[in-house]
Amino acid sequence: MSRAARGRPQPFTVDVVAVTPRDGELAVLLERENAGNNGRERWMLPWEAPRGDEQLDDVAQQVAREAIGAAPSWISQVGAFADGRHPSDTDLSVAYVALAPLGTDTQGDDRVWRPVRDLAGLGERQEAIVQGALTAVRDRLDLYPIAFRLLPGAFTLSELQQMYELLLGRRLHKASFRRALQAAYLVEPTDEWRSEGRGRPAQLYRYAPKRRRRSRRGVRFDLLG
Amino acid sequence: MSRAARGRPQPFTVDVVAVTPRDGELAVLLERENAGNNGRERWMLPWEAPRGDEQLDDVAQQVAREAIGAAPSWISQVGAFADGRHPSDTDLSVAYVALAPLGTDTQGDDRVWRPVRDLAGLGERQEAIVQGALTAVRDRLDLYPIAFRLLPGAFTLSELQQMYELLLGRRLHKASFRRALQAAYLVEPTDEWRSEGRGRPAQLYRYAPKRRRRSRRGVRFDLLG
DNA sequence: TCAATAGTGTCTGTTAGACATTATGGA
DNA sequence: TCCATAATGTCTAACAGACACTATTGA
């Protein structure tokens, strides 16, 4: 950071999209914007204008921790956004996406988990930021343990598969999913089982990556065309 | 953009990593930094502090066009960088990567294509930006026609394969590469051939995506572990 | 003719998805 | 007992890589 700006608030913000699974869909954390209460409610993503001597990642981590009420299980920069109105009236926002494990709850009326299909009350820029964050999560799903970070430490393979299905937005084949998981040496079984209603109880697993994948066969041409 | 900042220079920069193939490796465009010539040369990425009423993408496009001498064949945001020294002494840079087709040349001593393995003279922040840009290019290679945009309008399949190999940093299997390309309906043959030295002449192709890929089989677990 | 590169056909091992089957609990 | 879910085995089609072969030019 420049000497001039040391300690003073920056003319840009760090915005955090906190994501968690909730009621079978993804939800993001919104805070009430206590601007002039002229009729309809206005909401916003948690944000902060960093001081001049802070690193972006540290600020994002801090904003996420305060909003979620615990350290995020994963955090990553999404990009810079300048279009549209922002609660801070700054010209630029650096966006981050942060993951909160399943079951993370908030308290109070001014901080809520809202399903991503209904972001009414959010400003233009922050709505674009949420879309960018969700795209970033999907794009990085195969490289980072995102699905695992949205689950508690112990989980069933069906829960893990459902998390992947939720993030990808499509169904997966059970046998294939487990075969690929096995081959990747990413999980190890615990000696616990969980019984939910009817049906055979499921064994609990934990995330415990062992080997490194080094495949990358061929090239993929997944261009939209 | 906020009313306050309209028309005035912003307290951040838009930095552009212009990339082109050159002598069988990737090169980025550097400009001479005419700061106090105290001994060793200093170089920098092209950058600009946008006015308050400009959109980021437009500024990046403009910076790229001026640096390359022509419109970039593809451009995309990489992210925001705040660490390390920057020629502008601003606290933040929004980085873009821009592609220049093979054969794009520069003129003058103050603007050169430098191979990515030797970025001596570049400041800390911009060196991190270049690394981020190269990573972004590799990560998006399967989703955007990056390799095609680094080639002229007509190219041989061997040239296309070599471009993929250059970007991926590994050799590819010729028959498999062509099979996958065929299946993706991305190119169409022209009625021209090119003869280079010995060997059978190669047919020229052009980028002409026809159908949409809709495969995405299974899940990939490419986590590092 | 030889060397070099383009382009293609065939074989094989790997993998994804369909399908079926067994296992194990609760109602 | 029936039903629901877990977990796994088998079959097949698609695909990647190896290999070999033909095609076509310049030296």
Domains observed in chain B: 3-140 (3.90.79.10), 147-223 (1.10.10.10)
- Strand stretches in chain A, DSSP E: 13-22, 25-32, 43-44, 47-48, 74-81, 93-99, 111-115, 154-156, 187-194, 202-207
pLDDT tens digit at each of 225 positions of chain A: 444 444 456 689 999 999 999 999 999 999 999 766 666 889 999 999 998 889 999 999 999 999 999 999 999 999 999 999 999 999 999 999 999 999 998 878 899 999 999 999 999 999 999 999 999 999 999 999 999 999 999 999 999 999 999 999 999 999 999 999 999 999 999 999 999 888 999 999 999 998 666 677 889 898 865
Please give the Cα distance from B75 to B57 (Å, whole number): 9
Chain B neighbours among A 140-179 (CB < 8 Å)? 141-145, 164, 168, 170, 172-173, 176-177
Would the pLDDT of B59 be above 70? yes
Claim: this prediction has a pTM higher than 0.75: yes
Cα B205 to chain centroid, rounded? 22
Bases of strand D lying below 7 A from some protein CB: 3-10, 15-20, 23-27
- The three-point CA angle A84-A85-A91 to 5° equals 80
* Both tokens assigned to B61: 């496009």
Position B40 scores a pLDDT of 82
What's residue A5's pLDDT? 46
pLDDT in the model for residue A2: 45
Rounded CA-CA distance A198/A196 in Å is 6
Angstrom distance (rounded) from CA B204 to CA B193: 6
- Checking each nucleotide's C1' against the CA of B199, the nearest proves to be C5
Q: How many CB pairs under 8 A join A and B?
A: 148
Quick one: which of B126, B60, B129, B128 has its CA closest to B98? B60
A47 DSSP assignment: E
Q: Measured between CA atoms, how close is A98 to chain B, in angstroms?
A: 16
- Rounded Cα distance between A100 and A112, Å, is 13
Nearest nt (C1') to B198 (CA)? Answer: D26
If you measure CA to C1', which residue is closest to nucleotide D22? B200
Nearest nucleic acid nucleotide to B204, CA to C1' distance: C6
Q: Round and report the angstrom distance from CA (B189) to C1' (C8).
A: 16
DSSP characters over B173-201: -HHHHHHHHHHHT-EEEEEEEE--SSS--
CB B149 within 8 A of CB B137: no
Q: How many CB atoms lie under 10 A from the CB of residue A217?
A: 7
Answer whether residue B5 shows pLDDT above 50.
no
Q: How many residues does chain B have?
A: 225
